Structure 1
């Protein structure tokens, strides 16, 4: 049964504010306490029309933000053929795009917690589509134009959208939060299939680069308009709660407390191998990641987020070394299926795991944002380092070993974070 939303309590209290001095002090304090109650005491419906509409909106944002970024392999091949620069230099465009996609999670998460989600969704959508149109006007032989429009502009626009689309699910879901966030992030898998295929066909079948990018931009605009219409928050923001509280001293989430939370820090010290060098098989990898982004998340709602994330991190790291045995097209396809499933599960488990470490609803956005911000540093350097290790002789052993070791080291950090959280909670279900 869906209880009365906390926002209704906020509206009721606001209407009574003009006559509050005429009411007994105990009644006004009780009203404030009702609005300021922690999430555990607020009835979160775990379903309903608005909840599922928010899932749809988040799915569309994930489709556009991650999907277009995942199509960079198509752009890279086109830029190399156009003589833009070397493959190693061009990879920086994709790295910057992913860097800002994740780095913008920090300001986006803070804005979401403060109640400015509507502004950042609208601005991020317009800015993303604007930069896609600017990319369509760019000269593919001019490196700086591609850096500005695709690497920086599209990355910033996408980054402003992703964290709000994920964080908003916590307003509608609690028991099924991990599964729902996995469903939202499965949009990235579908986008990672559709965008590359569409762009590759448009670039190489007479339409050309400019109108191919514009077609993708118009499709993105339509999806994001729908997302902006259906995404809705349900709980009062931190700014609204402080306004209702008047002069009362409310505890505010402090960045220092988050950055000194040892399990959270160990959990955040991890990132993954880039997929840009598997572009021939990227559609297969993204298709298999659909399973990885949903099944593990459904399991984690029963056994705990860290209990699910830690094994996924270990398996993902170990699978990188399997690339040594992938010497035939069939073996590469098998590797792409397995790696897509487990790495997709790892990616989809990050937001619900970070959210589960929040002490209050006011921290969910900034916790996810900080986690993504940590990831952005590895996103910025991962592909160029792998490209440099690959070298002109295509020595695959070096980037494989580097990526595998980094992933397994990250898995060890997650495992240690799991131990610390289990000790803190006194429970094995973490």
Structure 2
């Protein structure tokens, strides 16, 4: 458990009204049955949130060819983009609710809302764009917001020294989901109706989220007085290292997801058969499983900053390299290694935020503020790349170079931002006497 701020007065402690707190409450144990059961539950939540969102390419294909053929591919892509945005945008409110002790409430409500919305998606009428947008972009997205951030934040209650590795294990659920959901949805769509395919998907998500709710074991927390919450919010904006890291993450988000949205299309444009191009996304997500485990294992020994920075520079370098990749074998290799490096960044960010949380009781606030900030940049990132790929009024071939270069520069600038954040963090002497191992 993080140390209390030395400047905090005894009367401040007394003013905090406890919520479900007992004198025997313990801090992070870095292991044990409850801790690893929580990780198993978080794995399932990640599978059903980010993993499910990563399968939007299947919906994009179904909607474009048939179900919403009256709408342009750009209009349809906003459904998936807004769904991602909704997962992140309410982050600061979700984080404050987590710090106030409402973890169980959010998990239960989020599970119900996501499963209910998936079943509502199975009832929408063909050609009705607004119905699909309400059910998928808003309903599923909001339900996932109540699940995604709390499931990452609760890890910090159980792990400190091994937090990076534990987080890496949990977020591999998103990578596994990114492999399983597209295959499952494709098979269901071929063998059943659109409605029945979504009902089956809703049933799978419902069972997994029910298990996750039973497995996760949050520790008791204290409900802070409003004055202390205001102090916590103020400290966020005064923490320069934290704010610089958030700015860096926003820049990274502009370009990081380009291959996740467009790699399959890029493969087809390079002459790869569509039946083979489908596997490029599966390989990308398979690579991210390795990327979310190995760097996180070493991050507990070398420090999350020292792992995330080289991973970001490698990610930017790979984006530049893809300009010269034109064969199926080359695209497969790119997808695997890009999955490794980008997956490392995604899984290490929660560890960075946890390390930058100086004050007790702030992990939810800081995690939530970070994801709220990043959400807006995720919303506009892929549409910008889409506009560069196919400028309005252009009937020529897809212009891959501008959007790839844009993505690579955005990630490289984010990597430089993380270097600056690390320098500030060390300069403030906040590395807890660990030398350069941060």
Deviation string for 1:118-140 (max 9, x for gaps)?
Answer: 11100000001111111111124
**Given the superposition, is the C-alpha separation of residues 160 and 250 from structure 1 closer, same or farther in structure 2, using an over 3 Å criterion?**
closer
The reply on whether 1:419 has 2:423 as its aligned counterpart is yes
- Secondary structure of 1:293's counterpart equals helix
The residue number in structure 1 matching 2:8 is none
Deviation string for 1:277-326 (max 9, x for gaps)?
Answer: 12421111111100100111111101111111111111111111111112
The residue number in structure 2 matching 1:13 is none
Structure 1 Cα separation of the partners of residues 200 and 328 of structure 2:
32
The structural deviation recorded for 1:220 is 0.2
The residue number in structure 1 matching 2:42 is 58
The residue number in structure 2 matching 1:97 is 83
**Given the superposition, is the C-alpha separation of residues 253 and 278 from structure 1 closer, same or farther in structure 2, using an over 3 Å criterion?**
farther
Structure 2 Cα separation of the partners of residues 150 and 43 of structure 1:
38
Deviation string for 1:43-95 (max 9, x for gaps)?
Answer: 53211111111001111000000111000000001111011422122111111
Structure 1 Cα separation of the partners of residues 425 and 357 of structure 2:
12
The structural deviation recorded for 1:251 is 7.8
The residue number in structure 1 matching 2:308 is 309
Structure 2 Cα separation of the partners of residues 258 and 250 of structure 1:
13
Paired residues, number: 390
Residue number among 411, 414, 437 corresponding to 1:429 in the alignment: 437
The residue number in structure 1 matching 2:65 is 81
The structural deviation recorded for 1:253 is 4.7
Residue number among 395, 398, 404 corresponding to 1:394 in the alignment: 398
Residue number among 14, 23, 32 corresponding to 1:48 in the alignment: 32
The reply on whether 1:119 has 2:105 as its aligned counterpart is yes
Matches within 5 A, 1:145-160: 145-160=131-146
Structure 2 Cα separation of the partners of residues 72 and 98 of structure 1:
10
Specify the structure having the higher radius of gyration (Cα).
Answer: 1
Deviation string for 1:373-405 (max 9, x for gaps)?
Answer: 111111111121111111152111111011111
Q: Which consecutive unaligned segments of at least 5 residues does structure 2 have?
A: 2-12, 265-277
The residue number in structure 1 matching 2:240 is 262
The residue number in structure 2 matching 1:334 is 333
Alpha-carbon RMSD: 2.3
Structure 2 Cα separation of the partners of residues 115 and 42 of structure 1:
16
Structure 2 Cα separation of the partners of residues 257 and 64 of structure 1:
33
CA contact (8 A) 2:121 2:132 kept: yes
The residue number in structure 2 matching 1:6 is none
Runs of 4 or more, structure 1, over 3 Å off, are: 249-253
CA contact (8 A) 1:325 1:331 kept: no
TM-score normalised by L of structure 1: 0.86
The reply on whether 1:290 has 2:289 as its aligned counterpart is yes
The reply on whether 1:70 has 2:46 as its aligned counterpart is no
Which range moves more in the overlay, 147-156 or 420-429? Answer: 420-429
CA contact (8 A) 2:100 2:221 kept: no
Structure 1 Cα separation of the partners of residues 70 and 182 of structure 2:
20
The structural deviation recorded for 1:105 is 2.1
CA contact (8 A) 1:79 1:140 kept: no
**Given the superposition, is the C-alpha separation of residues 110 and 251 from structure 1 closer, same or farther in structure 2, using an over 3 Å criterion?**
closer
Q: Which consecutive unaligned segments of at least 5 residues does structure 1 have?
A: 4-27, 244-248
